[in-house]
């Protein structure tokens, strides 16, 4: 197990390093230099280069760059808000994105579990069909279509919830974006829960539990669901990551001042520094989540723990 | 008859029973015999098609795909407008279809929300455009939404299919080679794959679009770089399953080279899961394209895709909701039908597979 964890951590670090390398190369390829002023003579330019370490070999520059990125020093923004450190821009936005993303994951996982359980317990009935239809639609229709629909119906037509996000009405204005974001998670979890539960319910140990006289909720929740949950946790990780992509568009639609809308703005106004900083943050989050889930998976399921430590 | 014989053996005093002709008659069980008929051996693909056709949702998905594809081909030429033709005098007109003038819908009227309440306006009548019909309405520049929706569907479909096919070729070759050679080759190829897979798709696509010009080719390249990983995993897993089988050994004994075995012997045997994966990657590609267009990195104007149409319609979707509805419905149907068809295909190709 220890060996497995160490191996996973090393792979993750290499991935992060690879991303930093790609980002660094991109920075070098970007057109223009920060010191393109014609008033500067060669000596002044050399002095500036020396000050920012641009006269050093590329390898040393790269290591400096890596250190800066890891410390959270991403440089300054060019276009969105001139000369503001990017770390400062992100600081205020990240909590909002995480809050809405977290709400979406929680909602999606909960509703998805209920739907999947319903479909599995009442297999081949009308409930199963309804749950399947809901999950197929949820998987197929992009989150921003839901976002637009919800925003039009609940926000504009019925005026139950605000159409746009506002910091004053944090809770009520987060309802619609969270629902829109959670649809894909919900549908995937529902499909997965259904198939896992059907497999568990048909297994020998369920028959044993039933013949011992356990029935009703205890049978479903204590014996079946606990075993079905293990694989579900693994699909949750990629789903959380998919939320990042979804959040970009949903944040734009509901005008949420989060990281996603910052990235969209940065792309549209060619603010390279911000794009690269956010790419790094997204990658780091992604790698972190994948690492945690992989390790968690081993901890939860003894079969995997044993198999991995033998290998 | 046997019961009769038994009776005789028990009760010997009874006279022996002599069977008459009337005792023997046909059982008339033609119905039972008919069950036991022989099937002609069917080819694998014939059986797959039969299994596929048995699933209603899969057939519905396939029909929808075909319908939308046909409309994407012929639709833009039907209304008589071109996708880029602007007519600023006829902008923001609601849908109006000939023959529907009296029915109350598709008659060119729309509801306007003002501070004093909602009222119904028909710009066709107000501007005296008696013989002008925009089936899906016209947009902010007076372009026909019908034509734009279908030419957008065409662009989206071309991008998605191109990306899926290129992914298939790259991912399949990578996975097959990695799985077949095993050992060090596999180790190195899998580590590379892990690192590529560790970078979020969103980041790859964004960075790529910083360097390259937005456009159809760029989007296909972006999709190509990100989507091949799943395909290569499936190809590798199938290869690992098949490469120990006798037919591979036989081929090798007969002197076949590695690449002959990979592409001529193993590949035809794993074509099922590969096709299924292609079908599943098409909706992903459509979604990614739409997402990129929505963010502003998509197809350059005046060309349009479903994503860019939705993005345009979004700007005025509270005042003119009819502008965003057609592209959204077409895209949702397209993704739904590809998902349904892929689901059906997966079950048809491998009936033992558990549903996911």
Distance from CA of B271 to the nearest CA of A (A): 25
Instruction: Find the mean pLDDT for residues B328-352.
Output: 82
State the pLDDT at residue B239.
85
Residues in chain A predicted with pLDDT less than 50, given as ranges, are 310-311
Which of A264, A272, A282 is nearest residue B203 as measured by Cβ atoms? Answer: A282
B331 to chain A: nearest residue by CA? A141
Q: How far apart are CA B57 and CA B148, in angstroms?
A: 29
- DSSP string for A108-174: HHHHHHHHHHHHHHTTTSHHHHHHHHHHHHHHHS-HHHHHHHHIIIIIIIS-SS-SS--STTHHHHH
State the pLDDT at residue B143.
80
Handedness of CA A111, B314, A78, A65 (dihedral sign): positive
- Predicted ipTM? 0.72
Query: Cβ–Cβ of A140/B209 closer than 8 Å?
Result: no
B201 to chain A: nearest residue by CA? A245
State the pLDDT at residue A311.
42
Instruction: Find the mean pLDDT for residues B306-332.
Output: 80
Q: Indicate the average pLDDT of chain A.
A: 80
In the A/B pair of chains, how many CB contacts fall below 8 A?
121
The answer on pLDDT for B5 being more than 70 is no
Phi, psi of A283 (to 5 degrees): -60, -45
Q: How far apart are CA B17 and CA A132, in angstroms?
A: 67
State the pLDDT at residue A111.
92
Instruction: Find the mean pLDDT for residues B172-177.
Output: 88
State the pLDDT at residue B63.
92
Q: Which of the two residues, B174 and A141, has the higher pLDDT score?
A: B174
The answer on pLDDT for B1 being more than 50 is no
C-alpha pair distances (Å), A16 with each of A11, A32, B48, B117, B209: 9, 27, 44, 56, 21
Q: Which of the two residues, A112 and B7, has the higher pLDDT score?
A: A112
Query: Cβ–Cβ of A144/B200 closer than 8 Å?
Result: no
CB proximity under 8 Å: A 197-226 to B: 198-199
Using a CB–CB cutoff of 8 Å, tell me whether B242 touches chain A.
no
B337 to chain A: nearest residue by CA? A140
Which of B200, B297, B354 is nearest residue A244 as measured by Cβ atoms? Answer: B200
Instruction: Find the mean pLDDT for residues B85-98.
Output: 71
Query: Cβ–Cβ of A283/B354 closer than 8 Å?
Result: no
Strand partners, B120: B111
Counting every residue written for chain B, the total comes to 356
Q: Indicate the average pLDDT of chain B.
A: 78
The DSSP symbol for A30 reads S
Structure tokens at A163: 């159409």
Peptide linkage before B247 cis (omega within 30 of 0):
no
Which of A140, A252, A275 is nearest residue B283 as measured by Cβ atoms? Answer: A140
**Is-contact A274 A200, C-beta < 8 A?**
no
Using a CB–CB cutoff of 8 Å, tell me whether B58 touches chain A.
no
Query: Cβ–Cβ of A22/B209 closer than 8 Å?
Result: no
Structure tokens at B152: 């957008």
Model confidence pLDDT, tens digit, residues B243-289: 888 888 888 888 888 888 888 888 888 888 888 888 888 888 888 88
Q: Determine which of A10-14, A30-34, B6-10, B88-92 has the lowest per-residue pLDDT on average.
A: B6-10
Distance from CA of B28 to the nearest CA of A (A): 38
Kindly indicate the confidence band of residue B4, based on its pLDDT and cuts at 50, 70 and 90. Answer: very low
Q: How far apart are CA A189 and CA B70, in angstroms?
A: 34
Across chain A, which distance is largest between two alpha carbons, in Å? 90
The answer on pLDDT for B73 being more than 60 is yes
C-alpha pair distances (Å), B242 with each of B143, B231, B265, B354: 55, 17, 10, 20
Q: Determine which of B34-38, B125-129, B141-145, B202-206 has the lowest per-residue pLDDT on average.
A: B34-38
pTM of the model: 0.76
């Amino acid at each position: 197990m220890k060996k497995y964890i160490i191996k996973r951590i090393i792979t993750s670090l290499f991935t992060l390093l690879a991303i930093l390398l790609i980002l660094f190369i991109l920075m070098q390829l970007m057109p223009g230099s920060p010191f393109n002023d014609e008033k500067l003579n060669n000596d002044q330019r050399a002095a500036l280069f020396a000050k920012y370490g641009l006269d050093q070999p590329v390898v040393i520059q790269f290591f400096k760059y890596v250190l800066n990125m890891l410390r959270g020093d991403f440089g300054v923004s060019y276009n969105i808000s001139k000369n503001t450190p990017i770390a400062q821009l992100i600081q205020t936005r990240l909590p909002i994105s995480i809050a809405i993303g977290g709400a979406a994951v929680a909602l999606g996982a909960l509703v998805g579990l209920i739907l999947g359980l319903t479909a599995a317990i009442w297999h081949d009935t009308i409930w199963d069909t309804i749950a399947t239809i809901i999950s197929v639609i949820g998987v197929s229709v992009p989150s921003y279509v839901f976002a637009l629909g919800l925003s039009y119906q609940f926000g504009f037509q019925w005026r139950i919830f605000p159409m746009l996000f506002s910091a004053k009405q944090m809770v009520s204005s987060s309802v619609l974006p969270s629902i829109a974001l959670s649809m894909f998670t919900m549908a995937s979890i529902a499909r997965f829960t259904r198939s896992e539960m059907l497999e568990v319910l048909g297994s020998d140990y369920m028959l044993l539990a039933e013949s011992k006289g356990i029935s009703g909720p205890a049978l479903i929740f204590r014996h079946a669901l606990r075993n079905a949950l293990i694989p579900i946790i693994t699909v949750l990780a990629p789903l959380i990551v998919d939320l990042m992509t979804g959040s970009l568009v949903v944040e734009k639609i509901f005008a949420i001042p989060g990281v996603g809308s910052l990235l969209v703005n940065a792309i549209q106004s060619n603010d390279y520094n911000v794009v690269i900083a956010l790419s790094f943050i997204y990658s780091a989050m992604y790698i972190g989540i994948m690492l945690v889930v992989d390790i968690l998976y081993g901890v939860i399921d003894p079969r995997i723990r044993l198999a991995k430590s033998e290998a | 008859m046997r019961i009769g014989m038994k009776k005789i053996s028990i009760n010997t005093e009874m006279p022996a029973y002599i069977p008459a002709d009337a005792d023997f008659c046909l059982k008339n069980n033609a119905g039972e015999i008919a069950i036991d008929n022989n099937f002609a051996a069917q080819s694998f693909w014939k059986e797959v098609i039969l299994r596929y056709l048995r699933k209603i949702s899969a057939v519905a998905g396939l029909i929808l795909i075909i319908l939308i594809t046909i409309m994407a081909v012929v639709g833009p030429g039907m209304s008589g407008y071109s996708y880029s033709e602007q007519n600023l005098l006829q902008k923001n007109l609601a849908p109006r279809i000939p023959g529907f003038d009296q029915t109350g819908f598709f008659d060119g009227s729309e509801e306007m929300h003002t501070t004093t309440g909602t009222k119904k306006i028909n710009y066709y009548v107000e501007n005296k455009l008696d013989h002008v019909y925009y089936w899906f309405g016209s947009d902010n520049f007076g372009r026909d939404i019908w034509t734009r929706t279908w030419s957008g569907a065409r662009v989206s479909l071309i991008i998605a299919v191109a990306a899926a096919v290129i992914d298939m070729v790259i991912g399949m070759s990578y996975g097959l080679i990695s799985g077949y050679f095993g050992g060090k080759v596999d180790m190195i190829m899998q580590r590379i794959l892990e690192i590529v897979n560790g970078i979020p798709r969103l980041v790859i696509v964004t960075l790529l679009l910083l360097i390259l010009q937005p456009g159809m080719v760029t989007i296909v390249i972006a999709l190509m770089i990100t989507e091949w990983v799943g395909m290569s995993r499936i190809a590798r897993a199938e290869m690992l399953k098949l490469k120990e089988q006798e037919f591979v050994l036989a081929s090798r004994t007969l002197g076949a080279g590695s690449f002959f075995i990979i592409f001529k012997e193993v590949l035809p045997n794993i074509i099922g899961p590969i096709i299924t994966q292609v079908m599943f990657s098409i909706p992903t590609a459509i979604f990614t394209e739409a997402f990129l267009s929505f963010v502003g990195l998509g197809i350059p104007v005046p060309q349009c895709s479903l994503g860019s149409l939705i993005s345009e319609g979004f700007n005025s979707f509270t005042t003119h909701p009819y502008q965003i509805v057609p592209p959204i419905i077409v895209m949702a149907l397209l993704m739904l039908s590809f998902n349904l068809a892929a689901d059906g295909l997966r079950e048809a190709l491998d009936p033992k597979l558990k549903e996911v």
